[in-house]
Amino acid sequence: MIPALGAVFHLEEGNAGVVGSGEDHVLEVTRKHVLPNQFRDVVLSAARDAHVSLFQAEYRTQGRDHPILPAAPETQYLKCGIFRVDKA
């Protein structure tokens, strides 16, 4: 499990956690872009490892001044999920 994700999912039941992915970190670690479905898969995998259930309160991307181009998925480089954590 990615340590930062583990910390988020070890919150007390009912609390909220924020998980995000920024391009600088992604490129440094994997040398590739993380697409939204890959981001979701990493979050779900970490939640399973931590034995918690997640309820998504919000999902956000970058602001309007950084447009997302449908033909270029790598332009959706900022991803942020706000989740309520419940014990599984």
Q: Is 19 helix (H, G, I), strand (E, B) or coil?
A: strand
Across-strand partners of 56?
A: 83
Whether the CB-CB separation of 14 and 86 falls below 8 Å is answered with: yes
Tokens describing residue 86: 């419940």
Q: Which domain holds residue 34?
A: 3-87
pLDDT score of 65 = 93
Neighbours of 39 (CB within 10 A): 19
Instruction: Identify the CATH number of the domain in which residue 31 sits.
Output: 3.40.50.150
User: Within the chain, which residues score under 50 in pLDDT?
Assistant: 1, 25-29
* Domain count for the chain: 1
pLDDT score of 39 = 83
pLDDT score of 23 = 62
pLDDT score of 27 = 43
Q: Which amino acid is at 65?
A: D
- Report which of 42, 41, 46, 39 is spatially closest to residue 61, judged by C-alpha positions: 39
